[in-house]
Amino acid sequence: MQLEHLVVVMPAYNEAEGLPEFLSEISEHLAPLAPRLDLVVVDDRSTDATRQVLHDLAADLPGLVPVDADVNRGHGPTAIAAYRSGLGLEPDLILHVDGDGQFHGADLVRTVRAAVSTGADVVHGVRRGRQDPWFRRALTAGVGLVVAAAAGRRVPDVNTPLRVYRPEAIAELLDAIPDDALVPHVHFSIAEARRGYQVRYVEVASLPRRGSSATGTMWGVERSPKLPPKRLRRFAVASAAELWRVSLRPGARR
Ligand SMILES: Nc1nc2c(ncn2[C@@H]2O[C@H](COP(=O)(O)OP(=O)(O)O)[C@@H](O)[C@H]2O)c(=O)[nH]1
Ligand SMILES: [Mg+2]
């Protein structure tokens, strides 16, 4: 496959500090891969300077497309909005990565290269060296088991935010979930297996978040709390209900 147009899509929430470095690293690394590169960053109505930072950066960074959300909707719906904006640009490939900068630009290159060389429907970046507290690891392991049962095979790092999709593949996946889904990537991982998509896995390093803002994290402010923060407990319960409704129950949309 000849890659002419690559689009990066990114949800961002309170990432003012880390975004300039992360976006320029992405741009530097990915620009050589395609004659046209666009970076669509959806600001989920951050409470810090993210929006301003993005609009300022757009003046110097060719291909940066800031998208301003009207209301704060959370990570899942913002990722979905980012995918949809990216698809609107009609790319050959679409790469999703979170705005918290937990990857090396060079690893993004490896995932895109894998998509180009194999022609796969999707390439997942499988995170190695994650430094999560025990309850997040437990949650990830639990979700992994449920997804393995639903998908009929083990899917490494089911919720990884680093993915490269063929546009036709991600368009189909998006149409099968609600636009306000909390855990779109988990639904996608199940649907990819059920639909027999060609999935490739590339191991990538997991870095600490860039920028020092603790408000960007989904799990409260403490770095290593002893017990699951309330926010995570609520999110886990709501996500489990959504998983059942959208992807697991008999007759769920496939
Ligand atoms: N759009 C949006 N993103 C959020 C919100 N709260 C947290 N996030 C983002 O969710 C992403 C994942 O959170 P993180 O704690 O890094 O999870 P991990 O990467 O799986 O360890 C990060 O990019 C956060 O910035 C929010 O209210 N809206
Ligand atoms: Mg993260």
Domains of the chain: 5-248 (3.90.550.10)
What is the amino acid identity at position 204?
V
Q: How many CB atoms lie within 10 A of CB 223?
A: 11
34 is written with which tokens?
């395609």
DSSP state of 253: -
Strand-pairing partners, residue 87, are none
Q: How confident is the model at residue 20 (pLDDT cuts 50, 70, 90)?
A: very high
Q: Ligand 1 pocket by C-beta < 6 Å: which residues?
A: 11, 13, 15, 44, 72, 74-75, 78, 98-100, 102, 209, 216-219
Q: Mean pLDDT, the chain, as a whole number?
A: 94
Q: How many CB atoms lie within 10 A of CB 152?
A: 11
- Centre of ligand 2 to C-alpha 210, Å, is 9
Strand-pairing partners, residue 122, are 165, 199
Measuring CA to CA, which residue among 133, 118, 124 is closest to residue 192? 124
**Three-class secondary structure of residue 192 per DSSP:** helix
Mutate to test the pocket of ligand 1, among 13, 45, 131, 143 (most ligand atoms within 8 A of CB): 13
Longest dimension (CA), the chain: 50
Query: Which tens digits make up the pLDDT trace of 180-226?
Result: 999 999 999 999 999 999 999 999 999 999 987 645 566 655 556 67
Query: Which tens digits make up the pLDDT trace of 23-66?
Result: 999 999 999 999 999 999 999 999 999 999 999 999 999 999 99
Nearest ligand to the CA atom of 102: 2
Nearest ligand to the CA atom of 211: 1
Rounded Cα–Cα distance for residues 89 and 38 (Å): 9
